Amino acid sequence: MPRDKNEGKILEQVKVDHHKIAIAKAFILGIPRNNEYNPEDICKQFLQQQHAEQPGEVIIHPSFTETDVLVKEVAESLSFTLAFHEALNALIYSGIVMPTSSYRTEGFHQAWTTVYQRGGGHSGGWSFDEYRYTFPNRFIFSVSSRTNDDFALMDADLYLLEAGVAGADEEIIEAIKDSIACFKGNLYRPAVVMLGKAMEGAWLELGVSIMQYMVKLGSKSEEDVARFKASDKPITIMSKISKIVEMYNRKELKTVRDKTGISNGALNSIMVWSDILRDSRNAIHFSVKPTLPNTYEKVAILLIAASKYFKSMYCIKKATDEEVI
């Protein structure tokens, strides 16, 4: 049976991405962890927080001008509902949440009507069976998760959300995901290597943004930016970082420093952390040992610090890019 055009518009606008799933995971982990819950109740609270409640009816009438608005609201509600249930099942798979009852499968149903302003018409509903989702009737948090707040170290979506790197190059995001996956698997050396790759990428992206801002101010040229991009061999990374920190310290960047609240010293601290990470990562080379072994504790500290530092770096990058526009 052919779909109604408004039903088709809803399907076109449904979008479930890692960002929505991460937001849903963070919401679930933010509720008290000593109680038993009905997922439907928590999902309703989540939709309210995201301003994505499902509208009562979609009005379809030539005199009603807000049909497209309601269609968009339905698509948003369906998107966040699917993200919530995907997040819940991911937390169950990770052992953070435990089902305490049987599972059931539900679909998404949306009512519509052609009745408007006392006129005649008819009503019906759309069922989006291709977006059915399965969830337990009740759930609790596992005992170990009730006193643990380091969930981001075990979940790439949460880590990326905390690190604020949504606008980063896809290669950087993939490196961070790989680092978290390795850490979860007790592979600490590969975790450090992939974190080091992400660190290098973040610095290079920041450096390009700062240089482009300085081009706008007239203190750098496009040729300078091109040379900076071209010379990206790993052996030069610390010299590049030093150059970026030096540029950030200049008086021309005061506007950006004031806008972000991130001082010269703060970026210098990130450089020091980056050097520690570089030393740890160099253990990938034969016969090279890091100053301190890459243990669980050390890599966990590096990852926790990285989340904070990535957030600062991309905050500076965003502010700098806004000045260039």
- Among 114, 147, 180, give the residue marking a domain's end: 147
Domain that holds residue 82: 5-147
The yes-or-no verdict on residue 128 having pLDDT over 80 is yes
Give whichever of 81-85, 216-220, 228-232 has the largest mean pLDDT.
Answer: 81-85
The answer to whether residues 106 and 205 belong to one domain is no
In this structure, are residues 217 and 252 in contact, taking their beta carbons and an 8 Å threshold?
A: yes
pLDDT of residue 113: 93
Amino acid at residue number 89: N
User: Do residues 174 and 314 both lie within one domain?
Assistant: yes
What does the pLDDT look like over 234-270, one tens digit per residue?
547 888 999 999 999 999 999 999 999 999 999 999 9
Question: Considering 105, 125, 147, which residue would you say is the last residue of a domain?
Answer: 147
Mean pLDDT of the chain: 89
Q: Which of 36, 186, 157, 162 is nearest to 97 (CA)?
A: 36
H or E segment and range at residue 21: helix 18-29
- Same-domain pairing of 317 and 172: yes
Residue 227: predicted pLDDT? 82
Retrieve residue 64's tokens. 């009603």
Higher pLDDT, 205 or 227: 205
Question: Are residues 290 and 269 part of one domain?
Answer: yes
- SS3 state of residue 160: helix
Pair 175, 297 in one domain: yes
Q: Please tell me the distance from the alpha carbon of residue 300 to that of residue 283, in angstroms, as a whole number.
A: 17
Over range 214-218, report the average pLDDT: 90
What pLDDT digit, counting tens, does each position of 153-182 carry?
Answer: 778 888 888 888 878 899 999 999 999 999
DSSP annotation string for 236-293: GHHHHHHHHHHHHTSGGGHHHHHHH---HHHHHHHHHHHHHHHHHHGGGSTT---SS-
pLDDT for the residue numbered 1: 40
Q: What is the pLDDT of residue 3?
A: 60
What pTM does this model have? 0.71
- Shared domain check, 306 and 169: yes
310 phi and psi, to 5 degrees?
-60, -40
50 shares its domain with 171: no
Question: Considering 147, 165, 198, which residue would you say is the last residue of a domain?
Answer: 147
pLDDT, one tens digit per residue, over 264-306 is 999 999 999 998 888 877 766 555 566 667 788 888 889 989 9
Do 160 and 118 fall into the same domain?
Answer: no
**254 lies in the same domain as 137:** no
Domain total of the chain: 2
Angle at 294 between CA 290 and CA 300, to 5 degrees: 135
Same domain, 139 and 170: no
Does residue 127 sit in the same domain as residue 165? no
Identify which of 303, 302, 277 has the alpha carbon closest to the alpha carbon of residue 290.
Answer: 277
Which secondary-structure segment (H or E) carries 133? strand 123-136
Q: What is the pLDDT of residue 289?
A: 67
pLDDT band at 232 (very low <50, low <70, confident <90, very high): low
| Same-domain check for residues 121 and 176 | no
